[in-house]
Amino acid sequence: MSLWRIVRVIIACAAFPVFWVPFSYASSSDGGHICVIEHGFFTAPRFEDGSCPKDTAYSEEHDICRRPVELHNSFVFSLNEDGSMVFGMSRWTSGGAHCGLTGIAEETENGWRYIDESGQDDDCTVDIVMEDDKLVIKPHGHNACRRACGVTGSLHKLSYSLKYLRRQQITPEHFTPFFLYHEPCPE
């Protein structure tokens, strides 16, 4: 592998930090994809001259430059015979921050628990539970799974409405950063 290709791989991984699923566990199986389109606003401060960055407009009400954005947030899963869940999630904020996480969560009494055992410094333990009509991601701790997010980001409690669940054949491709990061929600 050339030096240039290694540098490109490092840059790509830094741009989309994600934990990789051991694909030997993620064989093609029945599962589901929850994809939710949310609407928000990208915000940015004004320049010194009072102008706004390209593609934004000043909002007097909010005293900031902003533009509407459409956020495609995904949760993909496949249940194994032993009750464990292979999962991948991609979550955007209106400010452009992103968190992406994939792994294998072990079955618990109340749902599933993912514990990152990679030996990294930050704690990344996440419970995945069903609450009412939502699938809820509950990280342990205030700054959990920081390396799964962009700069200064961390994973907070997230929920995905089950009304957007689409049962489908799940393959290892569904757990790749490219799919989670780029695949738009189906209409």
- pTM confidence score: 0.72
Distance, in Å, from the CA atom of 91 to the CA atom of 17, rounded to the nearest integer, reads 12
Q: How crowded is the C-beta side of 57, counted as CA atoms within 13 Å? A: 6
Considering the domain 18-40+70-182, what is its CATH architecture?
Beta Barrel (2.40)
Runs of H (alpha helix) within 16-163: none
Query: Which pairing describes strands 158-161 and 134-139: parallel, antiparallel, or unpaired?
Result: antiparallel
Through-space distance between the first and last CA atoms of the chain, rounded to whole angstroms: 40
Tell me the pLDDT of the chain (187 aa) as tens digits: 333 333 333 333 333 333 334 333 444 456 888 888 888 888 889 999 999 999 899 999 989 999 888 888 899 999 888 999 999 998 887 666 788 888 999 999 999 999 987 766 567 899 999 998 899 999 987 777 877 887 666 778 888 888 888 877 788 888 887 888 777 787 6
Distance, in Å, from the CA atom of 14 to the CA atom of 149, rounded to the nearest integer, reads 10
